Amino acid sequence: MNSTGQLRSSNKPSDRLELGPFKNHPLFVGKDDPDARRSFQQALAKVRSQLGRSYSLFVAGSDLTTDKTFRSVNPADPDEVIGVICQATEAQLDQAIQAAQEAFLDWRDVPASVRVKYLLAAAELLRKRIYYYSAWQVLEEGKQWDQAYNDVAEAIDFLEYYSRQALQLDHLLDLGSYASEKNEYFYQPKGLTAVIAPWNFPLAISCGMVSAAIAVGSCVLYKPSSQSAVVGHHLVEVFREVGLPSGVFNYLPGPGSLVGQYLAEDPRIAVIAFTGSMEVGLKLTELAAKPRPGQDHLKKVIAEMGGKNAIIIDEDADQDRAISAVLYSAFGYQGQKCSACSRLIVVDRVYDRFVPRLVESAARLKIGPAEDPANYMGPVIDQAAQQKIQSYIDLAAKEGKIICRSDVPKKGFYVPMTIVEGITPDCRIAQEEIFGPVLAVMRTRDFDQAIEWANSTRFALTGAVFSRNRQHLEQARRHFRVGNLYFNRHCVGAMVKVQPFGGFKLSGTGTKAGGPDYLLHFVDPRCVTEQPM
């Protein structure tokens, strides 16, 4: 692009960057693999030796310290401090936005073939240190080994995939001619992007939103979740090491009520990329909708919010496969995923055989610190989450019958793995996102009612169906209305490119992270028509 923001042609041979086909990074091989076990144990020991450090802001390529700080702790042992993080003030937020503005004037002119080399170098660093960066998530977020490793693998996938997508966008598209006129189509970055990230996928989702913006020529103001601010700082380390130009990426931790709101309201911000709760997503959308003095554009909000996801068990389902998938979907990472299964819908004819087997399997699962790979479930993220989830467990006992409630360790932010039956769509347990290990079991008379109940919430994120009945699967394909629908497998763990992730209704704005059109939300299309003299 030139200094006016117009895309310059990247069709010169010298500008081309040829990359091979995209391939997903392999997922975790398993805790029983000797090499993987040794690598994780070594990484955990290394991380433990670095706990308690202080982390500065990162603005215009430099560290900034502040007097006001907050602590990030191990949710399995709140006495263990993971790190002490500086908190951004309004003055520093303004400084960061100014730095990003200045950097944007040059960065938007850099060809995608150059921009993505920084992202590809970052992916290579993550590959080399995947166990190290995974170990930080085990301790700061209470993630099991596989959950943490796969999060870093997904971050690598986003860097690689969006690099390839950006190269495809960075070309003039010849639209053909009409009445001898020549017509060309191209894209330019919308402008500064505020990335407001969640704690549950602290590196993957952060890296995905950040790399998408950087790939198309935007500069980023990044606010990590306070519960995962140390993992968020890994992006600072990686981008600094690969030499990303000053001001392109800025790290601004702090409370959402200050940092998130300031970024959403500032007239210089063009895009808000958010992943988190429905309540916060709606608030950000409301703030972004109101133009401020000096604002000359409509802000684009890219929001991935919550879910109330259901798995349907048909009468001819493979019960062994279904039980394993339901447990993983509902209780993997303590149910703290927007894609997690929180409603289990079982048709009447199989209910009395399936549900007791599920409860029996759930009762055998161990709960304890995530660093011990023998534990299936660990702590929830903090005390506020612990108290909220416990209040929903109390509500579940009133609205239905609790048929499984596990014991939990006394120290740490633990809540019991809970299964409650007798739930119908009019129950709060069937409608409100809990974001914890609480599974509501619903009994329907037939498959038609199962589909009806699956669609009975304000959300439309993920879902799954276990059935051997091809007619029922095709019925679900048409009428089970969610962004990501899975047949005969769990409803979590979408893979970049092959399973683009995102929902609609109040689950999000209809965008698909890791999909072929995701980068289009960060750019403005332009068309130029030239009539020959």
Q: Give catalytic residue positions.
A: 304, 338
| Residue with tokens 């389902």, as numbered in its chain | 317
User: CB under 8 Å to 257, separation ≥6 — which residues?
Assistant: none
Helix, strand and coil content of the chain, in percent to the nearest 5, comes to 40, 20, 35
Q: Give the CA distances from residue 343 to residues 20, 261, 354, 425, in Å, rounded to whole numbers and listed in that order.
A: 41, 33, 15, 10
Please give the Cα distance from 172 to 184 (Å, whole number).
6
- Rounded to an integer, what is the distance from CA 510 to the centroid of its chain? 14
- CA-nearest of 220, 175, 172, 231 to 196 is 220
CA-CA-CA-CA torsion sign (290, 292, 298, 303): negative
Cα–Cα distances in angstroms (integers) from residue 502 to residues 216, 297, 532, in the given order: 21, 26, 45
Number of Cβ atoms within 10 Å of the Cβ of 327? 22
Cβ-based neighbours of 282, under 8 Å, separated by 6 or more: 305, 506
The total of other beta-carbon atoms located within 10 Å of residue 173's CB is: 12
Closest to 261 measured CA to CA, from 236, 234, 288, 239: 288
The alpha helices in 143-260, defined as continuous H runs, are 145-169, 204-215, 229-241
464 forms beta bridges with 311, 486
Nearby residues of 99 by Cβ (< 8 Å), 6 or more positions away: 59, 60, 246, 247, 250
Q: How far is CA 402 from the centre of its chain?
A: 31
Query: What is the number of other CB atoms lying within 10 angstroms of the CB of residue 105?
Result: 12
End-to-end Cα distance, the chain? 25
Return the sign of the alpha-carbon dihedral for residues 480, 482, 487, 492: negative
Q: Which one, of 417, 409, 412, 288, lies nearest residue 358 by Cα? A: 417
Q: Copy the structure tokens of residue 301.
A: 């909000």
In terms of DSSP bridges, do strands 462-466 and 484-487 run parallel, antiparallel, or are they unpaired? parallel
User: Who contacts 383 (Cβ-Cβ below 8 Å, separation ≥6)?
Assistant: 78, 413
| Order of strands across the sheet that contains 69-74 | 53-55, 77-86, 69-74
Please tell me the distance from the alpha carbon of residue 441 to that of residue 312, in angstroms, as a whole number: 10
